[in-house]
Amino acid sequence: MSVNILDIILGGAGQGVKKVIGALPQESSNPEAMIRQATPTPTTTPTPTPTAVPTPTPFQFQMGESDYSRFQPQMEKYYTEQNSPALAYVPDMIKAANTHGVDPRVLGGIMFSESSNMKNYPPETFNPVGYLVNGGGVEGLQNAGFTSIPHMIDRVTSRFGSERNKYPNFTENPNVDTLQSSYNANPSEREQYLIKVKAYLDSLEKQGGL
């Protein structure tokens, strides 16, 4: 006669305990199965698709047009805020731009870089654009032969228009970099020149409508 130790210890309750123990899941004798049961299935996180960053379009002067009058209100407002003598000559700048098909901001950028908007230059030379001929200083400015500010405006503007062979690199790709390298080819002044022209263009843009 076999005696169940649980029956002896627990009495009648042993039968219930045996039923509970028998209902428990049995461990697998297969080690690989045990590893598979213990190892959680890894979840795959989808890799997000990177968002394409649009490449900004490089600034280009608007050349070859016959009517640049849309720039006049912004230029007049800008020169008024700057308390610049150039304000009086905005109509001349627009006229020369229309005549030669040259964006008036070309001359404006040059004047900003060379004379701080016509504020710093020898007035007797009529040369706020730093156009030097046969020498430097006041003599070189005078040798340019400008007889008035309107004369200077028309002559310098024409070099980018009807006399386009003067600046072929700018003609092919009219941007700030080629303006500097064409008009002021001094490498030591390149960085500051670009900064000044871009500052001028940014200030004009803030006036709206360009």
On whether residue 190 sits in a domain, the answer given is yes
pLDDT-derived band of residue 200, with 50, 70 and 90 as boundaries?
Answer: very high
On whether residue 159 sits in a domain, the answer given is yes
On whether residue 173 sits in a domain, the answer given is yes
On whether residue 24 sits in a domain, the answer given is no
| pLDDT > 90: percent of the chain | 61
On whether residue 133 sits in a domain, the answer given is no
Consecutive H or E run containing 187: none
Please give the residue that has the higher pLDDT: either 170 or 30.
Answer: 170
In the numeric block, which tokens belong to residue 76?
């007049």
Query: What span, in angstroms and rounded, lies between the C-alpha atoms of 68 and 198?
Result: 20
pLDDT at residue 83 in the model: 97
- Lowest average pLDDT, out of 17-26, 42-51, 161-170, goes to 17-26
Consecutive H or E run containing 101: none
- Range of 85's domain? 77-122+149-205
- Those residues whose C-beta lies under 8 Å from the C-beta of residue 22, and which sit 6 or more positions away, are none
Mean pLDDT of 49-73: 82
**What is the secondary structure of 49-72 as a DSSP string?**
PPPPPPPPPPP----S-S--GGGH
pLDDT-derived band of residue 162, with 50, 70 and 90 as boundaries?
Answer: confident
* Amino acid present at 130: G
On whether residue 116 sits in a domain, the answer given is yes
Query: What span, in angstroms and rounded, lies between the C-alpha atoms of 204 and 77?
Result: 9
Dump pLDDT digits (tens) for 63-92: 999 999 999 999 999 999 999 999 999 999
SS3 105: helix
On whether residue 93 sits in a domain, the answer given is yes
The per-residue b/e assignment along 52-67, b for 16 or more CB within 10 angstroms, e otherwise, is eeeeeeeeebbbeeee
pLDDT at residue 38 in the model: 57
On whether residue 7 sits in a domain, the answer given is no
**What is the secondary structure of 125-177 as a DSSP string?**
GT-TT----SSSHHHHHHTT---SHHHHHHHHHHHTTTTGGG-HHHHHS-SHH
> Dmax over Cα atoms in the chain, in whole Å?
136
State the total domains in the chain: 1
pLDDT at residue 164 in the model: 77
